[in-house]
């Protein structure tokens, strides 16, 4: 009997989907999971250093954490190549036979694409993105900051509506009437925050005008895009709750609160980016570094600053992220080489002995986690709160990055001796071969 489901803190779409699928359909294969309590751990850290298999023997099922059968993250810096294009919810769905279910399979595929490729929508119109599950989950991140259980429950209450929509989408449904009624009620009952600029609501107003004048154009038409929209969630909630509009309103008001929260933080992030970001163009690539408690400045750096590589730090927690734009001047940029230099610098700052052999490895080395996609290097995050903050100043991280991109810049002198030793070691390895 399983008494606990374990996933990572601040669960993302893949983790929320994994738990939802296991809770709804896993009881036969995994007795107890339908009523099991949910626990959360820092990403990459399992209780008492045990493996997922060992925890299963104790009645704890790991989902999207720990590198077990329902996770795709590296284990001991080793990546399972068979899982590179998989996601946790995809693995759970396969185990439970749901990847062949016509109602659930599309959502599982969307979660897989989102997790492995960063897919949100194929539509180029922002107002379509505005009312999609991707934006809602960003809003839930803010609303439930520090409350993993709250975010999980809210996310599952929204996601479970989508397969019901897929099952009923062929029916003739007046979604405009349903949505306008819900939106009007929500805006009437909500009180505006005087600290938020009016511009924060411009995009939503544009979308709402589109809904009233050309309702079919208010949502993207591509099948996956349509499936994860506010319209689909509303229709799914309508049938899921036996046409009880009060219960539908509970779901839709949560969606709207998430959308508005995300837009409000976005407006503040744009302002903060203009005030704090430091950007430098090197070999056609724009490198930006910024410190802020508002994680939306990362997107602002990409949108307003055209950033190809963003170095971000949350001064409150010390969590640091380095993100590479997949396309553009850095499309072929090797983040692992930059990771090696940053890990080397961290060892100097932390006065640790350096493991030269692992400096370019995926996974966690010297506290820095390199994602298997090659697009993300982090030390701490909302998903991984059990970490020692980096001692490398943000400006030094930027200088290391500049050096990686161009010989016109010098490697920071503070780490020069360590870097020289690393170069000597690499040369020795080359001669050995």
Among 74-88, 283-297, 362-376, the range of highest mean pLDDT = 283-297
* DSSP letter assigned to residue 98: G
Only one residue has tokens 């992030």, namely 269
Quick check: 76 pLDDT over 70? Answer: no
Q: What is the DSSP letter of 118?
A: -
pLDDT at residue 77 greater than cutoff 80? no
Q: How many CB atoms lie within 10 A of CB 134?
A: 17
Confidence of residue 191 (pLDDT cuts 50, 70, 90): confident
Quote the pLDDT of residue 83: 82
Q: Tens of pLDDT along 21-51?
A: 999 999 999 999 999 999 999 987 899 989 9
- Calculate mean pLDDT across residues 158-185: 96
Please state, in angstroms and rounded to a whole number, the distance separating the CA atoms of residues 418 and 412. 11
pLDDT at 334: 85
Average pLDDT estimate for 309-327: 95
pLDDT, average across residues 74-87: 76
Does residue 107 or residue 197 have the better pLDDT?
Answer: 107
What is the DSSP annotation of 143-160? HTTT-HHHHHHHHHHHHT
Q: What string of DSSP letters covers 23-83?
A: HHH-TTTSTTTTT-EEEEE-TT--GGG--HHHHHHTTEEE-SSTTSTT--S-BTTB--GGG
- What is the CA angle 246-248-252, rounded to 5? 115
CA-to-CA distance for 145 and 344, rounded, in angstroms?
32
- Proportion of the chain above pLDDT 70, given as a percent: 99
- Average pLDDT over the chain, rounded to whole? 94
* Whether the predicted pLDDT of 78 surpasses 80: no
pLDDT over 90 at 193, yes or no? no
4-8 and 37-41 as β-strands: parallel, antiparallel, unpaired?
parallel
Per the listing, tokens 């430098």 go with: 280
User: What is the pTM (predicted TM-score) of this model?
Assistant: 0.84
Greater model confidence, 341 or 432: 341
Cβ neighbours, 10 Å, residue 66: 27
* Nearest alpha-carbon partner for 69 in 108, 30, 27: 30
Task: Decide if pLDDT at 223 tops 70.
Answer: yes
Q: What is the pLDDT of residue 72?
A: 87
Phi/psi at 282 (5° precision): -130, 120
85-136 pLDDT tens trace = 899 999 999 999 999 999 999 999 999 999 988 889 999 999 999 999 999 9
User: Helix, strand or coil for residue 346?
Assistant: helix
pLDDT surpassing 70 at residue 344: yes
Residue 336: band (very low, low, confident or very high) from pLDDT cuts 50, 70, 90: very high
CB atoms within 10 A of CB 58: 12
Gap between the Cα atoms of 6 and 2, Å rounded: 11
pLDDT (0 to 100) of residue 433: 66
pLDDT at site 372: 82
Rounded mean pLDDT of 387-405? 97
Reported for 273-277, long-range contacts at CB under 8 A and 24+ positions apart, including other chains, are: 273/297, 273/300, 273/301, 273/304, 273/305, 274/304, 277/301, 277/305
């Amino acid at each position: 009997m399983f008494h606990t489901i374990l996933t990572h803190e601040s669960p993302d779409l893949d983790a929320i989907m994994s738990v939802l699928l296991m809770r709804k359909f896993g009881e036969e294969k995994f007795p107890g999971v339908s009523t099991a309590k949910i626990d959360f751990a820092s990403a990459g850290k399992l209780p008492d250093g045990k493996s997922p298999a060992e925890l299963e023997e104790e009645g704890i099922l790991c989902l999207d954490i720990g590198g077990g059968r329902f996770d795709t993250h590296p284990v001991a810096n080793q990546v399972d190549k068979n899982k590179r294009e998989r996601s946790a919810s995809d693995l759970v769905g396969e185990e439970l036979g749901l990847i062949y279910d016509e109602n659930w399979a599309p959502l599982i595929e969307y979660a897989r694409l989102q997790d492995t490729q960063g897919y949100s929508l194929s539509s180029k119109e922002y107002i379509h993105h505005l009312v999609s599950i991707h934006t809602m989950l960003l809003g839930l991140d803010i609303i439930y900051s520090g409350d993993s259980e709250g975010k999980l429950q809210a996310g599952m209450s929204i996601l479970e509506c989508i397969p019901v929509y897929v099952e009923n989408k062929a029916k003739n449904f007046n979604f405009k009437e349903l949505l306008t009624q819900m939106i009007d009620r929500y805006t009437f009952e909500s009180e505006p925050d005087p600290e938020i600029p009016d511009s924060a609501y411009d995009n939503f107003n544009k979308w709402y005008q589109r809904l009233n004048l050309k309702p079919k154009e208010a949502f993207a038409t591509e099948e996956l895009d349509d499936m994860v929209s506010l319209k689909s969630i509303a229709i799914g909630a309508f049938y899921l709750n036996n046409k009880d509009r009060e219960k539908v309103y509970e779901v839709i008001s949560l969606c709207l609160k998430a959308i508005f929260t995300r837009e409000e933080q976005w407006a503040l992030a744009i302002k903060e980016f203009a005030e704090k970001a430091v950007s430098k163009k090197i070999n056609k690539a724009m490198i930006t570094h910024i410190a802020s408690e508002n994680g939306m400045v990362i997107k602002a750096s990409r949108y307003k600053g055209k950033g190809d590589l963003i170095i971000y730090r949350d001064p409150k927690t010390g969590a640091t992220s380095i993100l590479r734009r997949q396309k553009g001047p850095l499309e072929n940029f090797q983040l692992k080489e930059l990771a090696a230099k940053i890990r080397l610098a961290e060892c100097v700052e932390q006065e640790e002995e350096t493991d030269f052999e692992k400096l370019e490895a995926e996974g966690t080395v010297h506290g820095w986690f390199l994602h298997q996609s090659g697009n993300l290097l982090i030390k701490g995050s909302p998903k991984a709160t059990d970490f020692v903050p980096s001692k490398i100043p943000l400006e030094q991280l930027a200088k290391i990055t500049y050096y990686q991109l161009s010989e016109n810049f010098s490697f920071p002198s503070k780490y020069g001796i360590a870097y020289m030793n690393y170069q000597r070691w690499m040369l020795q390895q080359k001669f050995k071969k």
